[in-house]
């Protein structure tokens, strides 16, 4: 302890130039930390699970249950993981987009084609549900390595960020 104290006293009394550099660099660091939170925030990427897994008319709650069941099925296959319960919160259900055509001055209308079985609207794209968060509960989550694997699996399967996943032991 005495060696540190001697060094500090020598640094303060004899190396004024080094002390000023240290103070200026520390001040610049604090200044950058303070101003680093200003500006345009970067939002997390939108999560889009595979849209073909869901029907366009299903209710949001039904889609949440289906995603949770699929996740639970995958996580049960991870070695050392048993009795997995998964809850998923969706903030948007699946959305279908259709090809539009202009009909005179009346605006745009979906394109309808005639088929042998009647008329059908021409689909353009389907946007998957937006995942708000996932909670995973299993006895295996007592082990940190398993907890990390479960979190990474949910992030990968649903294209979500780590802060949207909570893994808890039972």
Q: What is the pLDDT of residue 166?
A: 95
Q: Which two tokens stand for residue 45?
A: 């990427």
Below-70 pLDDT ranges, the chain: 1, 37-58, 95-111, 122-126
* The 3-state secondary structure of 131-156, one letter per residue: EEEEEEECHHHHCHHHHHHHHHHHHH
For the segment 50-95, what is each residue's pLDDT rounded down to a tens digit?
A: 444 444 445 788 888 988 999 999 999 999 998 999 999 988 877 6
Q: What is the pLDDT of residue 57?
A: 43
Say what the pTM is: 0.52
Q: What is the pLDDT of residue 72?
A: 92
Closest CA to 158 of 135, 131, 138: 131
Q: What is the pLDDT of residue 130?
A: 85
Phi-psi region of 118 (alpha: psi -120 to 50; beta: other; left: phi over 0): left
Q: What is the pLDDT of residue 123?
A: 65
Q: What is the pLDDT of residue 152?
A: 94
Q: What is the pLDDT of residue 7?
A: 77
Q: What is the pLDDT of residue 107?
A: 43
Q: Which two tokens stand for residue 50?
A: 């595979």
Q: What is the pLDDT of residue 12?
A: 77
């Amino acid at each position: 302890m005495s060696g540190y104290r001697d060094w500090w006293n020598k640094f303060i009394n004899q190396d004024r130039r080094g002390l000023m550099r240290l103070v200026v660099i520390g001040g610049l660091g604090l200044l950058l930390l303070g101003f680093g939170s200003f500006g345009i925030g970067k939002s997390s990427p939108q999560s889009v699970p595979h849209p073909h897994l869901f029907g366009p008319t299903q209710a949001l709650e039904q889609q949440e249950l289906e995603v949770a069941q699929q996740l639970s099925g995958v996580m049960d296959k991870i070695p050392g993981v048993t009795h997995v319960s998964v809850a998923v919160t969706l903030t948007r259900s699946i959305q279908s987009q259709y090809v539009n055509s202009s009909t005179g001055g009346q605006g745009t209308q979906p394109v309808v084609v005639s088929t042998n079985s009647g008329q059908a609207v021409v689909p353009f794209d389907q946007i998957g549900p937006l995942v708000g968060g996932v909670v995973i509960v299993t006895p295996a989550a007592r082990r940190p390595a398993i907890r990390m694997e479960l979190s990474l699996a949910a992030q990968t399967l649903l294209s979500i960020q780590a802060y949207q996943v909570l893994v808890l032991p039972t």
